[in-house]
Amino acid sequence: MYAQVIKSEGAKPRGEMSPEEIAFQERIDRGEKIEPKEWMPEGYRKTLIRQIGQHAHSEIVGQLPEGNWITRAPTLERKAILLAKVQDEAGHGLYLYCAAETLGVSRDELLEKLHNGSMKYSSIFNYPTLNWADIGAVGWLVDGAAIMNQVPLQRTSFGPYSRAMIRICKEESFHQRQGYDIMMKMARGTPEQKAMAQDALNRFWYPALMMFGPSDKDSVHSAQSMAWKIKINTNDELRQKFVDQTVPQAEYLGLTVPDQHLKWNEEKGGYDFSEPDWSEFYDVLAGNGPCNRERLGARVKAWEDGAWFRDGLVAHAEKAEARRAAAKIAAE
Amino acid sequence: MAAIIAAVDRAAFFEFLTRMGDNTLILGHRVSEWCGHAPVLEEDIALANTALDLIGQTQLWLGLAGEIEGKGRNADNLAFLRDAGGFRNVLLVERPNGDFGQTLMRQFLFDAWHHGMLTALTASADPRVAEIAAKALKEVSYHLERSSDLVIRLGDGTPESHKRMQQALDDIWTYTGELFVADETDRAMAEAGIAPDPARLRAKWEEIVTGVLTEAALKIPATGYVHKGGRRGVHTEHLGYILADMQFLQRAYPGAVW
């Protein structure tokens, strides 16, 4: 889940809706897709821009913690797999910015908001990747948590977002398997490798749980987004599903989930588990995570250092166009 | 006598293959350093793709090198367990990335050579070499197309982009000559019909480079000086740091399986 704490707009009881809004809601209720040129409430459009934009930014910033290990990947094959994965993520960013553009916001405007801090990216990417098993843990846990949210979003009401999700999910589930494969090698490797794997799980477990956002009782924006089918499941539902899926995988690896209260609850058919430390979550959102400054700083630097490159390409395109026009006049 | 010649050929063949594989490995490493830091998203994707191609080619070249050597070393052993003196890449590919213009100019000058080299190798007397070359050539044709296009657009872009591209060319030009200097290994490979004499690749390279740089409004530096040494294992200071990064895990945890 790369969209957290998305502020949703326009929650209205049906009695206060305009006829257009009622017709729109009925289309969504019937499971129809909303396409870019069709009428939509302003709140729907704005909320989607925030959500898709945050998701896109997360893909882009998400290149950094994994990119941190590309030059140090332990084998040529692992290096190639990691490069391909990070390339996929940049590609996801591209589809998502394109999906957002259909709502009338340019990629440059969204990047401007990322760079000035007015739009966020997922809190998870503000955590460091400290050993090689972290690359496994990111694939297994972070992509695993993202998939929990993104699989239902394939059915989201906005056509371009839904179609982007369908493509993204195929690649993400592949990434998750690759991450788990790294964890298997590490967990069954030397004592040092196993220690790295356990250390990675210890550090990424709670930040992964935070990816689903605050508990439903504290999540003020969910109801409208769910009515619009921009959000399909509640935060707590997805978090529970993630824990239920992941705990047996950790057991299979012979690793210990760092939660002494973790326990199977027969009655509810799922695990009871400890909440993450939400004060840490809000600290990270506020910019005080271990890597916030580095991550955003790296993106801003890349953008600023690249200004001459982008300007150069634009200038060349203009010159080439002018030359074509001049040649056409000369020929006539 | 025949056995001795075969042994010499095998050593030369191994040497040649490590030159090919080390070029792609070290350049792939440098390109991968850009990951997440490129000037625009499309370039992040293109750079990762280029690095991925180069690392894939490394697996093939060094894999074959290990087989030819016959001492049980595989591509990973060669990549991760040789020290700098054992590497045979040209100095050009270990030059630091610098700004995006420097990275791009290095890529273009290398691609223009790489394309010609692989084209020649598709006719190699050794079918395994010809097969790797044919596969790599498809990828490198795209690398050359992309780097040529960007060099032209940036050379003939704004005054600043022009200045940066000219600076990049001036800085790196003296590292290109090493691609064409032949030694005994090259002569042995040429005689066996395995690889072309490097000097033979020069005319085509100059034609590509001159064409692109002219269109880019860039001036080829007048100097004919050639920095060399990489192909016989004498490198710049930069390679040691590349290897310190690249080989860290294999060195710190010998024998572990990843």
Q: Which residue type, as a one-letter code, is found at position A113?
A: K
Which candidate from A60, A83, A84 shows the least CB-CB separation from B41? A60
Q: What is the DSSP string of B112-129?
A: HHHHHHHHHHTT-SSHHH
- A-chain residues near B154 (CB < 8 A): 309, 312-313, 316
Helices marked H in A68-190: 76-101, 107-115, 132-137, 144-153, 159-187
Structure confidence at residue A67 (pLDDT)? 96
Per residue in B230-246, pLDDT tens?
999 999 999 999 999 99
A306–B39 C-beta distance less than 8 A = yes
Q: By C-alpha distance, which of A305, A294, A307, A310 is closest to A61? A: A294
Structure confidence at residue A2 (pLDDT)? 74
- B-chain residues near A99 (CB < 8 A): none
Q: CB distance from B258 to chain A under 8 Å?
A: yes
Q: CB distance from A104 to chain B under 8 Å?
A: no
SS (H, E, C) A193-250: HHHHHHHHHHHHHHHHHHCCCCCHHHCCCHHHHHHCCCCCCCHHHHHHHHHHHHHHHH
- Tell me the pLDDT band of B2, cut-offs 50, 70 and 90: very low
Residue of A nearest to B56 (CA): A80
Q: Is the pLDDT of residue A100 over 70?
A: yes
Mean pLDDT computed over A44-63: 96
Mean pLDDT computed over A96-119: 97
Three-state secondary structure call for residue B256? coil
B256–A193 C-beta distance less than 8 A = yes
Does residue A207 contact residue A277 with C-beta atoms inside 8 Å?
Answer: no
Does residue A208 contact residue A141 with C-beta atoms inside 8 Å?
Answer: yes
Q: CB distance from A310 to chain B under 8 Å?
A: yes
List, as ranges, residues 77-96 from B with C-beta within 8 Å of A. Answer: 79-80
Q: Is the pLDDT of residue B94 over 60?
A: yes
Q: Is the pLDDT of residue A272 over 60?
A: yes
> For chain B, what percent of residues have pLDDT higher than 90?
96
Residue of A nearest to B153 (CA): A316
Q: CB distance from B164 to chain A under 8 Å?
A: yes
Which neighbouring-strand residues pair with A270?
A: A265
Give the integer Cα–Cα distance in Å for A171 and A176.
9
Structure confidence at residue A6 (pLDDT)? 74
Q: CB distance from A93 to chain B under 8 Å?
A: yes
Furthest-apart CA atoms within chain A: distance in Å: 83
Per residue in B159-183, pLDDT tens?
999 999 999 999 999 999 999 999 9
Residue of B nearest to A80 (CA): B52
List, as ranges, residues 170-209 from B with C-beta within 8 Å of A. Answer: none
Give the integer Cα–Cα distance in Å for A70 and A80.
9
- A-chain residues near B256 (CB < 8 A): 74, 189-190, 192-193
Distance from CA of B213 to the nearest CA of A (A): 15
Does residue A170 contact residue A151 with C-beta atoms inside 8 Å?
Answer: no
Structure confidence at residue A217 (pLDDT)? 79
The H or E element spanning position A293 is helix A292-305
Structure confidence at residue A4 (pLDDT)? 75
Per residue in B199-228, pLDDT tens?
999 999 999 999 999 999 999 999 989 999
Choice between B99 and A218, residue whose per-residue pLDDT is larger: B99
Does residue B94 contact residue B25 with C-beta atoms inside 8 Å?
Answer: no
A80-83: list long-range contacts, CB under 8 Å, 24+ apart. A80/B52, A80/B55, A80/B56, A80/B59, A81/A178, A82/A135, A83/B32, A83/B35, A83/B48, A83/B51, A83/B52, A83/B55
Q: What is the DSSP string of B23-59?
A: HHHHHHHHHHTTTT-SSSHHHHHHHHHHHHHHHHHHH
Structure confidence at residue A9 (pLDDT)? 63
Distance from CA of A314 to the nearest CA of B (A): 7
- Tell me the pLDDT band of A186, cut-offs 50, 70 and 90: very high
- Hey, where are the domains in chain B? 7-252
Q: CB distance from A297 to chain B under 8 Å?
A: no
Distance from CA of B25 to the nearest CA of A (A): 9
- Tell me the pLDDT band of B6, cut-offs 50, 70 and 90: low
Q: Is the pLDDT of residue B40 over 80?
A: yes
Q: Is the pLDDT of residue A10 over 80?
A: no
List, as ranges, residues 43-62 from A with C-beta within 8 Å of B. Answer: 60
Structure confidence at residue B1 (pLDDT)? 40
B79–A76 C-beta distance less than 8 A = yes
- A-chain residues near B99 (CB < 8 A): 305
Per residue in A273-318, pLDDT tens?
999 999 999 999 999 999 999 999 999 999 999 999 999 999 999 9
Mean pLDDT taken over chain A: 94
Per residue in B62-91, pLDDT tens?
999 999 999 999 999 999 999 999 999 999
Give the integer Cα–Cα distance in Å for B17 and B75.
11
Q: Is the pLDDT of residue B4 over 90?
A: no
Q: Is the pLDDT of residue A48 over 80?
A: yes
Q: Is the pLDDT of residue B25 over 50?
A: yes
Backbone phi and psi for residue A117, each to the nearest 5 degrees, phi listed first: 85, 0
Backbone phi and psi for residue A265, each to the nearest 5 degrees, phi listed first: -110, 105
Structure confidence at residue A52 (pLDDT)? 96
ipTM (interface predicted TM): 0.96
Which neighbouring-strand residues pair with A34?
A: A158
Three-state secondary structure call for residue A272? strand
To which CATH superfamily is domain B7-252 assigned?
Ferritin, core subunit, four-helix bundle (1.20.1260.10)
